[in-house]
Structure 1
Amino acid sequence: MTIKKLIDSKGRFAPGVLSQPVEEINYMDYDLRTVMDKPRTRFARRWRFNQFQFVSATGPGWVFGMALVDLKLVGSGFFYLYDFASGQMLEQSFMSPLAMGTRIEPSPERGQASFRKGKVSMRILPFAGGRAISVSAPGGIRVELALKEDNDPLRLVCPAGYNGWVFTRKSAGLPVEGEIRWGDQIWRCDEGTRGAIDWSCGFMRRETAWNWASLAGQLPGGRSLGLNLAAGVNETGMTENALWLDGQCQTLAAARFSFDRYSAGSDWHVTTADGRVDLRFVPATARKEKLNAGILASNFRQYVGTFNGTVTDEGGNKIEVEGLQGFMEDHFARW
């Protein structure tokens, strides 16, 4: 069974965690209104709808991240690779006015996403049970990755602000195959490489701020572990917090992030209200970006580093997390 359209015939959505996949995010059918209850025009509905996707892979001693963003007034794409052994951070970032060259189809399961600018091409293409990631850019940059066994994602739709909503589809701990070439250097996936997918869209709050944690790795016994935690967004009586063990999704309670925003490189501590997550994070590097263009603004810090601590499964079994690598994020956005 699938949900054909997210928005019903009366222009409404049903908030909550969704057990079935959604074929189409028919956002133009939503009854979007002003805070004084005046119906918004079709133009406003089109231009206030935001979409973004982030995919990552954690390989033997390296981490790769890539994002595609469509904010209508601007489109952007970035990708980077951090090598823990050498401390080398390689990154590329691009912006395009009016989101020219940016395409994100509003279909969480089968929609394609791409960003093109000049000789740079970035794509996320769905296939049965996964996503294919490709990047081609000058300087001998070629990325070909396949995130597989994406069979139990967390799907959530919840209110945002007074009259908006956010839909997200997330997976973590997915097996990854492929390689990354950057000039004359090559990083290859192995049997322990794991990845994550974040597919999000909606009529988001005009000003939004959040913290986010993502972990995808393999435990010493061979089990796959994935984790997604967030605070500050998607929390209207429900959360996007989840743990994946061997591909099976388990929901978690609200998350709390403790860190010093103004002390770059300081450690983080993240826990959940149900006591099932207690992790320390030591950052190794960060990708930072500040934009203040009046209408649009972003203060973005995405850290790459190492997690240590414990997570607990639904059966009460405590799992030691030692030296697994992943991401932490601190982000303010005005869109």
Structure 2
Amino acid sequence: MSIGTLLDGQGRLAECGWGVAEVRRYDRAAIRASGWRIKEWDYYCILTDDHALALTVADNGYLGFLGMSWIDFKRARAINHGAIRPFPFGRMQMPASADAGEIVQSRGGIDLAFRHEPNGRRLTFAAPGFDGGRGLSGEIVLAQPADDRMVIATPFNDAPHAFYYNQKINCMPATGYAVLGGERIDFSPDSAFGGLDWGRGVWTWDNTWYWGSASGLHQGQRFGFNIGHGFGDTSAASENMLFLDGRAHKLDEVTFHLPEGPLDRADWRFTSNDGRFEMTFTPIVDRADRVKIGPFLTDQHQVFGRYSGRAVLDDGTVLQIDGLTGFAEQVHNKW
């Protein structure tokens, strides 16, 4: 497969649209925008029916971030732990590809490493100060079969040098362990599945996005989905996609119907203009985080819970989904 450049000589997207593989090459040096606007991150989330683990490394220009979160569904508790690096402006050396390059970062008592290996990824993490000193550490290997993924190149209206290049990889079987407060929790590939959100781009100042994702099993086959909007001008393509046994099934537009009041107190609903995604999402816990530094703001509500409803594959096959673990989020950034 030939891979073309993401940006043209003027720093604009060479082509807008979606794919199921990395067919465009990101090059930070080709960007024609202020370093304050460049945002680069790798976010992993490993889901089971009992808990979730989220790991983040981000270089957002003026601010770098390392994050670890543990979400306990039985206790409806989410614990966040993070460290910041002021003004990295690319010095965190985030890889230009989702399929190559290593991330090894240490800051503020947090050690994170995301490494590639044959047919998979190895995630190692440690934070002795997590949850008031209980500590969280571990190692997880995500198997990566030759699956389709969601890849999208999206422009922003009225900002010709702004873009978002995003890859989402769902349903990676997870093997490994985490140690939380001295207790070891094992991850088994028949019940634990990882997802990667790989984002690179130039963002406008004030944005609100909505994202939903799930990975698990449906009748013994790996099944998941990615849905979302608010990541730029999606008139050329949406990022809505189903995944069954490694193959992608493209959806059109999905509408998020959020509850009134707190986002973890009532069900969310999702509908699609093509009738192929009709879901109810029942919240368990809101992994909320809000940081305001001067004019900068990030206000995040990543709500974990269960999806139930129907999803329709490209060939018209209807899947009845009952209690699939995932999350849905609303995030507002001024950055």
User: What TM-score results when the alignment is normalised by the length of structure 1?
Assistant: 0.88
Tell me, in whole angstroms, the C-alpha distance in 1 between the residues paired with 2:181 and 2:297: 33
**Where does residue 146 of structure 1 map in the other structure?**
141
**Where does residue 155 of structure 2 map in the other structure?**
159
Distance 1:144 1:23, change over 3 A: farther
**Where does residue 111 of structure 2 map in the other structure?**
121
The question of whether the paired residues in 2 share the 8 Å contact of 1:215 and 1:326 is answered with yes
Tell me, in whole angstroms, the C-alpha distance in 1 between the residues paired with 2:135 and 2:298: 30
Is 1:64 the counterpart of 2:63 in the alignment?
Answer: no
Distance 1:253 1:10, change over 3 A: same
RCO higher in structure (CA 8 A, sep ≥6): 2
State the 1:112 CA deviation: 2.4
Unaligned 5+ segments in structure 2 are 129-133
Unaligned 5+ segments in structure 1 are 33-39
Tell me, in whole angstroms, the C-alpha distance in 2 between the residues paired with 1:55 and 1:261: 29
The question of whether the paired residues in 2 share the 8 Å contact of 1:68 and 1:114 is answered with no
**Where does residue 36 of structure 1 map in the other structure?**
none
Counting only pairs closer than 5 Å after superposition, residues 162-177 of structure 1 correspond to structure 2 as 162=158, 163=160, 164-177=162-175
The aligned amino acid for 1:260 is P
Counting only pairs closer than 5 Å after superposition, residues 232-247 of structure 1 correspond to structure 2 as 232-234=230-232, 235-247=234-246
**Where does residue 16 of structure 1 map in the other structure?**
17
Tell me, in whole angstroms, the C-alpha distance in 1 between the residues paired with 2:141 and 2:24: 22
The aligned amino acid for 1:123 is A
Picking from 37, 41, 64, the partner of 1:48 is: 37
Tell me, in whole angstroms, the C-alpha distance in 1 between the residues paired with 2:172 and 2:21: 19
The question of whether the paired residues in 1 share the 8 Å contact of 2:66 and 2:110 is answered with no
Distance 1:2 1:136, change over 3 A: farther
Coordinate RMSD, CA, aligned: 2.1
**Where does residue 310 of structure 2 map in the other structure?**
310
The aligned amino acid for 1:187 is I
State the 1:286 CA deviation: 1.1
The alignment partner of 2:36 has SS state of helix
State the 1:136 CA deviation: 1.1
**Where does residue 131 of structure 2 map in the other structure?**
none
Range with bigger deviation, 106-115 or 232-241: 106-115
Range with bigger deviation, 128-137 or 14-23: 14-23
**Where does residue 254 of structure 2 map in the other structure?**
255
The alignment partner of 1:28 has SS state of helix
The question of whether the paired residues in 1 share the 8 Å contact of 2:21 and 2:150 is answered with no
The question of whether the paired residues in 1 share the 8 Å contact of 2:48 and 2:325 is answered with no
Tell me, in whole angstroms, the C-alpha distance in 2 between the residues paired with 1:129 and 1:20: 15
Tell me, in whole angstroms, the C-alpha distance in 1 between the residues paired with 2:26 and 2:324: 34
**Where does residue 202 of structure 2 map in the other structure?**
203
Distance 1:2 1:185, change over 3 A: farther
The question of whether the paired residues in 1 share the 8 Å contact of 2:73 and 2:285 is answered with no
State the 1:60 CA deviation: 4.3
State the 1:111 CA deviation: 2.7
**Where does residue 120 of structure 2 map in the other structure?**
130
State the 1:227 CA deviation: 0.7
The aligned amino acid for 1:149 is Q
State the 1:281 CA deviation: 0.9
Is 1:112 the counterpart of 2:102 in the alignment?
Answer: yes
Range with bigger deviation, 51-60 or 273-282: 51-60
The question of whether the paired residues in 2 share the 8 Å contact of 1:149 and 1:247 is answered with no
Picking from 173, 184, 187, the partner of 2:185 is: 187
The question of whether the paired residues in 2 share the 8 Å contact of 1:160 and 1:203 is answered with no
The question of whether the paired residues in 2 share the 8 Å contact of 1:23 and 1:108 is answered with no
User: What TM-score results when the alignment is normalised by the length of structure 2?
Assistant: 0.88
Distance 1:178 1:50, change over 3 A: same
Tell me, in whole angstroms, the C-alpha distance in 2 between the residues paired with 1:93 and 1:118: 8
Aligned length: 322
Distance 1:330 1:20, change over 3 A: closer
**Where does residue 215 of structure 2 map in the other structure?**
216
Range with bigger deviation, 156-165 or 322-331: 156-165
The aligned amino acid for 2:142 is L
The question of whether the paired residues in 2 share the 8 Å contact of 1:2 and 1:20 is answered with no
Tell me, in whole angstroms, the C-alpha distance in 2 between the residues paired with 1:313 and 1:182: 39
Distance 1:303 1:254, change over 3 A: same
